[in-house]
Amino acid sequence: MKERKCLQCYEQLKGRADQKFCSDQCRSAYNNQQYVESNNVIRTINRILKKNYFILSTLKAEGKTVASRSDLQKKGYRFDYFTYTNMSRNSRVNYFCYDQGYREQENNKVVLVKRDLTEDLSTTRS
């Protein structure tokens, strides 16, 4: 008969044929490790989105309506991460990080915009 070992600590298993762990602690530790490894990508992207959101909302709170791309980049803004896009009335693309966003202009400038998410949330509830 093949020797069975705990998936976490590799101790020899005694008991049921389908047993995978020697204890609840090993089962929990193993599953927690699997969860952490599978969510590293999501955690990294969420961290970037959170930082982008913070940068845009801070500029809006300071009363700014226009900023330069280079200023945003210096603050750590990552232009390749956003949650939503839409077209403005004048057919320009708005890039949003949740409800905070920007629209590109000439001369390396961006116009800061804010989207009302309460309307979107009320239409998705049934």
At residue 88, the pLDDT reads: 84
Question: Where are the chain's structural domains?
Answer: 24-124
What confidence tens digit (pLDDT) does each residue in 52-68 have? 999 999 998 888 899 99
Distance CA 8, CA 29 (A): 7
Please state the three-class secondary structure of 78-90 as a single string: CCCCCCEEEECCC
Residue 125 scores a pLDDT above 60: no
Residue 24 scores a pLDDT above 70: yes
At residue 72, the pLDDT reads: 96
Residue 97 · residue 82 · CB < 8 Å? yes
Quick one: average pLDDT of 43-50? 95
